[in-house]
Amino acid sequence: MPSNDDLRLALKLRALADALLVPVANVTGLPEEVVQGFVEGTTTGAVAAAKQPTKKRKVSAYNRKYKAAFKRVSKKYKKKNGEWKKGGFKSAVRAAHKEAKK
């Protein structure tokens, strides 16, 4: 349950928002309720749009082959401690592409 401080802050923010909407309503000539409804609707619409899941791209067959080839080949171009050898990453990428094309 929200505390009294939270409620006071919410009321202050609401009053501030209403104070900002009055001049907009006067300039546009629209009733304050319409402007307020438009702003609230836009905000909720933006929130709903942000919550929608994004479509994942389809991974191509070549990309799957390249990924598997890179995992296999990369071991040759790394040191014992797991770091890349000098120029190893570049060489591993080339080798993986060459293997994936076959």
For the whole model, what pTM was predicted? 0.47
- Per-residue pLDDT tens listing for the chain (102 residues): 567 887 788 788 777 777 777 787 788 888 877 777 777 766 555 566 667 677 888 999 999 999 999 999 999 999 999 999 999 999 999 999 999 998
CA distances from 46 to 19, 43, 89 (A): 22, 5, 42
| Helix residue spans in the chain (DSSP H) | 4-28, 32-51, 61-74, 88-101
